Amino acid sequence: MNEYFVLLNGVKLPKIGYGTFRCTDGSDERIVRMALEAGYRMLDTAAFYENEEYIGKGIKESGVPREEIFLTSKVWKTDLGYEKTRESFYASLERLQTDYLDLFLIHWPKPDPECENWKELIAGSWKAMEELYEQGKVRAIGLSNFLPHHIDALMETAKVKPMVDQLELHVGYMQELAVQYCKNMGIQVQAWSPLGRTRVLQEAVVLKMAEKYGVTPAQFLLRFLLQQDICVIPKATSMERMRQNLELPMIEITAEDMYTLKCLPQLGWSGEHPDRERVPAQV
């Protein structure tokens, strides 16, 4: 398997990364060392996760050279706008004990669904990110949870096209329109929560198909996304699961099975949507 997706600017993004949201339990760098030991070379974090300090420590302690790791962080939605985005970027660098990021994303397009000046705010953030990119402080810049109308708004003032959009994507929540829009723009799609929580992992059709292809349900769910050229960042807390999610047997899911999975009713949605108040999680 080719291990990378190539972004619009030629930067190579590992196809499988380690998602760190809540992985450190707020205070633990061991899990990061473990992920690097398992073989992960892409780590996804965010200012909001409040774990950057532990990720920085974990990287240092692991002995893996910084340049071998693809490191992503994000500016939180309350820090949108030119100045705050710059400040957030440098604060992330400090906590991560590094002088550059591989990828920097705007975490959500709006501070809250009612916000009226979100277009101005994201234009300011993007300008700051373009400058950081031009100065070589970050190798690629992109978005997270941006739907087509948010990207259209950003493109009104953007000089540099976003290289990545990170969306909640998994069997049962495929956001087809947003994925297609990104693909048409050449924006690399990355899936957060690719395992869709326990409900998707235990869904009868997933269990049955995983058995048919001779892989675990988690491996099957990851293959389902990779087969659509979507980058995945699963999280797991044991070495066994970390390895299982990284060392995926090569399987080719048939078109019939892909359609079946893509046409399932909504399943395992987090309840988060950039234009709406959060609804209780659908576990």
- Beta-carbon contacts of 167 under 8 Å, excluding residues fewer than 6 positions away, are 144, 145, 175, 178, 179, 189, 190, 191, 192
Are 172 and 15 contacting, i.e. CB atoms less than 8 angstroms apart? no
Q: Which amino acid is at 105?
A: L
CA-CA distance, 113 to 97, in Å (whole number)? 34
- Beta-carbon contacts of 94 under 8 Å, excluding residues fewer than 6 positions away, are none
Cα–Cα distances in angstroms (integers) from residue 170 to residues 7, 18, 30, 54, 267, in the given order: 22, 16, 28, 28, 9
- List the one residue from 31, 141, 164, 201 that touches ligand A2P (CB under 6 A): 201
Q: One of 4, 18, 40, 49 is an active-site residue; which one?
A: 49
Is 193 a binding residue for ligand A2P by CB under 6 A? The answer is yes
Is 218 a binding residue for ligand A2P by CB under 6 A? The answer is yes
Q: In terms of CB distance, is 129 or 167 closer to ligand A2P?
A: 167
Q: In terms of CB distance, is 19 or 162 closer to ligand A2P?
A: 19
Task: Restricting to residues 219-278, name those near ligand A2P by CB under 6 A.
Answer: 234-238, 241, 244-245
Note if 54 is an active site residue. no
Residue with tokens 């009868």: 204
Q: In terms of CB distance, is 175 or 237 closer to ligand A2P?
A: 237
Q: In terms of CB distance, is 17 or 124 closer to ligand A2P?
A: 17
Is 72 a binding residue for ligand A2P by CB under 6 A? The answer is no
CA-CA distance, 211 to 169, in Å (whole number)? 22
CB of 83 to ligand A2P, least distance (A): 33
Catalytic annotation, residues: 49
Binding site for ligand A2P (CB under 6 A): 19, 193-197, 201, 216, 218, 234-238, 241, 244-245
